[in-house]
Amino acid sequence: MSTLTKSEAVDAPQAGNAFLSVRDLRVRFRTEDGIVNAVNNLTFDLEQGKTLGIVGESGSGKSVSNLAVMGLHNPRNTTIEGTVTLDGQELLTASQRELEKLRGNKMAMIFQDALAALSPYYTIGRQIAEPFMKHTGANKKEGRERAIEMLRRVGIPQPQTRVDDFPHQFSGGMRQRAMIAMALVCDPQLLIADEPTTALDVTVQAQIVDLLKDLQQESGTSIVFITHDLGVIREIADDVLVMYAGRAVERGTMREVLKTSQHPYGWGLLSSIPRINSSVDVPLEPIPGTPPSLLNPPTGCAFNPRCAYRELVDGDKCVTERPPLELANGHLSACHLTPAQKQSILTEQILPRLSS
């Protein structure tokens, strides 16, 4: 079953019965150069035991929106609006103390760069045991035993001795495993994985993805998986949310978004994946241009300066009017092209190119 209720209007602020429900999330940063609208009107749901993949370029608001869920933004320069409910509990209005009880316990996060995300000054074991001791009131000995158990669960050999190692004594893949152990030590119901495989080589990537899938099956954790690697998305995600310039531009099940994308940006992403069986003479097609500055995003559809299908839309609608996220050919997408246009472009131009 899809975790996304397709019929629901984007601006409907009613919180469903989903485990994690994000409604109209808006994140703004005050910087020296002005206000950055990092995330705008982001809405998604995630059910228990499911995985939502969030895809997008750097600076598209993937991480920012999830840091907002965790409450990890610096309140001094960040304004967050909207509603985020986790298992019925409102997060954005929760106090620091309440959030501290949830973080690492009910919701946990894995970061991209495990070397940077682990403190160099404490042993792996101590860093894994810390949240366990805090949230369960366990003593040092129990914490250490739990850390060993977790290291074993994530597949670190000789966990009894490795538990006393420092992060710099671990290899990259092992550090990422240790990070996962640290995040999962209290059996969280929500795991936010922020590009956990980006810094790793492909073999280790596959291992980490398998590990997360196994752990999810064991404990029924819901996962938000942030990445820009569509290959990884195909492996792990049930649903996919494509973000561009701080907004959701496409939302649907993994098959819908990867097989029948309804957005020029999604087509661009799909066309730029290298394929093992494609001819070496056919060059990869990158999306032209660069991601927009969120200080001063393009008017109308934020993708319009890079969009190859702009002329197909009547008048200058792409520049003046922002397309709403609405149902087109089975799932949600935000584009002014008519569903019929999208379908014909997809079947006549995009799919043949992908299968060539």
Distance, CA of 27 to chain centre: 16
- Of 25, 42, 55, 109, the residue at the interface with another protein (CB under 8 A) is 109
The one segment of 11-19, 66-74, 244-252, 261-269 that binds another protein by CB under 8 A:
66-74
Q: Is 138 in the site for another protein (CB under 8 A)?
A: no
3-state per-residue secondary structure call for 34-103:
EEEEEEEEEEEEECCCCEEEEECCCCCCHHHHHHHHHCCCCCCCEEEEEEEEECCEECCCCCHHHHHHHE
Query: 218 to 277, contacts with another protein by CB under 8 A?
Result: none
Nearer to another protein, 53 or 104 (CB): 104
Using left for φ > 0, alpha for ψ between -120 and 50, and beta otherwise, residue 220 falls in left
- Of 53, 131, 246, 300, the residue at the interface with another protein (CB under 8 A) is 131
CA–CA distance from 284 to each of 1, 35, 99, 257, 288 (Å)? 34, 36, 45, 20, 12
Residue 16, CB-side half-sphere exposure with 13 Å CA sphere = 22
Q: Rounded distance, CA 174 to CA 156, Å?
A: 7
Q: Is 199 in the site for another protein (CB under 8 A)?
A: no
The one segment of 80-88, 115-123, 201-209, 219-227 that binds another protein by CB under 8 A:
115-123
Build a one-symbol-per-residue string for 140-169: x at contacts with another protein by CB under 8 A, - elsewhere. --------------------------x-x-
Q: Is 297 in the site for another protein (CB under 8 A)?
A: no
- Of 120, 137, 157, 283, the residue at the interface with another protein (CB under 8 A) is 120
The one segment of 129-137, 141-149, 221-229, 243-251 that binds another protein by CB under 8 A:
129-137
Q: Are the CB atoms for 185 and 154 separated by under 8 Å?
A: no
Q: How far is the CB of 164 from another protein (least distance, A)?
A: 11
Nearer to another protein, 16 or 166 (CB): 166
Q: Is 116 in the site for another protein (CB under 8 A)?
A: yes
Build a one-symbol-per-residue string for 89-108: x at contacts with another protein by CB under 8 A, - elsewhere. -------x---xxxxxx--x
Length of the chain: 356
Neighbours of 167 (CB within 10 A): 21
Q: How far is the CB of 30 from another protein (least distance, A)?
A: 12
Q: How far is the CB of 110 from another protein (least distance, A)?
A: 9
Q: How far is the CB of 56 from another protein (least distance, A)?
A: 20
Q: Rounded distance, CA 218 to CA 234, Å?
A: 21
> What one-character DSSP code corresponds to residue 335?
-
Per rule CB under 8 A, count of chain residues that contact another protein: 30
Closest C-alpha to 307, from 355, 345, 274, 278? 345
Nearer to another protein, 67 or 211 (CB): 67
Nearer to another protein, 104 or 268 (CB): 104
Residue type, 308: A
Q: Is 119 in the site for another protein (CB under 8 A)?
A: yes
Q: Are the CB atoms for 14 and 78 separated by under 8 Å?
A: no
What is the residue-wise DSSP string for 147-194? HHHHHHHTT-SSHHHHTT--GGGS-HHHHHHHHHHHHHTT--SEEEEE
Angle (deg, nearest 10), helices 140-153 and 172-184:
120
Q: Is 177 in the site for another protein (CB under 8 A)?
A: no
Closest C-alpha to 150, from 110, 180, 115, 118? 180
Q: Is 111 in the site for another protein (CB under 8 A)?
A: yes
Nearer to another protein, 109 or 242 (CB): 109
Using left for φ > 0, alpha for ψ between -120 and 50, and beta otherwise, residue 21 falls in beta
The one segment of 42-50, 111-119, 222-230, 333-341 that binds another protein by CB under 8 A:
111-119
Q: Which residues in this chain contact another protein in the complex, by CB under 8 A?
A: 67, 70, 72, 96, 100-105, 108-109, 111, 113, 116-122, 130-131, 134-135, 166, 168, 179, 182-183
